[in-house]
Structure 1
Amino acid sequence: MASFSNRIFLLVSLTLMFSGGATRLVTNETGGTRGDFVISPYKTVVQVFNRLNSTSFTIHCKSKDDDMGTHVVGPKGNYQFKFRANFWGTTLFFCGVSCAKGWTAFVVYSIKRDIDRCQTYSMWEVRSDGVYGFRQQDKVCDLRFPFKNKP
């Protein structure tokens, strides 16, 4: 006979399998996790807009498990990808951006930082001095990663 914890694990696994959801840890105001989880049946969209004047940029995003490849984004264009947070609550994507103004590398999505900041939509802009991130709920810029000069 299966133990109680094995039954709970089986129930959660079956729920995730049939709902298509993912588990997300819920963070508290100090940035730590509360130890509970929320089943998320939706994907998160990351979108990076080109706000450079008449210039393209190159972007390469990846996680531990997924490499999104290298893409050139033309003037007034954008690049986007979608994903579901993983079961363990460790989802993290990072990107490198390069253009004539310089380059930068940054975390484009971290479940620990972004669960309340941009749960289903993560918006970014590449500007002449760096990359800017915006909160989903009020579109306020709250993150900035300045360009470093090219060697």
Structure 2
Amino acid sequence: MALFSNHIFLLLSLTLAFSGGATPLSRNETGGARGDFVISPFKTVVQVFNRLYGTSFTIHCKSKDNDLGTHMVGPKGNYRFKFRANFWGTTLFFCRVSWAKGWTVFNIYSTKRDIGRCQTYCKWEVLGDGLYGYRQNDKVCDLKLPFKNKP
């Protein structure tokens, strides 16, 4: 019986060691359903900066299970949220950004695209011609999404 208990303990220890200490999270932190397991114990921060200089924009972000609400971001302001990606690699947040001259809908975070791109910090900037995305700790834009013009 002691040998069986030791094997169970070893199996659990190895599972936790190789899974990064994955733990179930509440619905608000995962972007998925209650009970999803995370890839690792760190959170990802997504931050969107207003670079429209003197003009505000509106942002509304959602996942399959979470509506983060509509937010007005003033000049020189920013909007941010954080979460933990789920174990299955299906975490997806999408947003609609609009301002006086344009709008766009886009995936602000997708585990499949971003797990190696901006694993713990995803930076975006709203400029007059579109939305710019940056790799983690990089000052060079690697994603650009143009705005659709408002009538």
How high is the TM-score relative to the length of structure 1?
A: 0.76
Where does 1:2-151 land on structure 2 (aligned, <5 Å)? 11=15, 15-17=21-23, 22-23=38-39, 40-151=40-151
1:89-127 CA-to-partner distances (Å, cap 9, x unmatched) read 100111100001210011100101001110000000000
Gaps of 5+ in 2: 1-10, 25-36
1 CA distance for matches of 2:53 and 2:96?
20
Gaps of 5+ in 1: 1-6, 24-39
In the alignment, residue 96 of structure 2 is paired with which amino acid? G
In the alignment, residue 114 of structure 2 is paired with which amino acid? D
2 CA distance for matches of 1:107 and 1:77?
21
Identity across the alignment (%): 73
Residues 125 and 133 of structure 2 are in contact (CA less than 8 Å); yes or no, is this contact kept in structure 1? yes
Alpha carbons of 1:102 and 1:118: their partners in 2 closer, same or farther (altered >3 Å)? same
Aligned residues: 126
How far off is 1:16 after superposition? 2.2
CA RMSD of aligned residues (A): 2.3
Q: Which runs of 4+ in 1 moved over 6 A?
A: none
How far off is 1:134 after superposition? 0.4
1 CA distance for matches of 2:93 and 2:23?
23
How high is the TM-score relative to the length of structure 2?
A: 0.76
Residues 23 and 38 of structure 2 are in contact (CA less than 8 Å); yes or no, is this contact kept in structure 1? no
In the alignment, residue 139 of structure 2 is paired with which amino acid? K
Q: Secondary structure at the match of 1:112?
A: helix
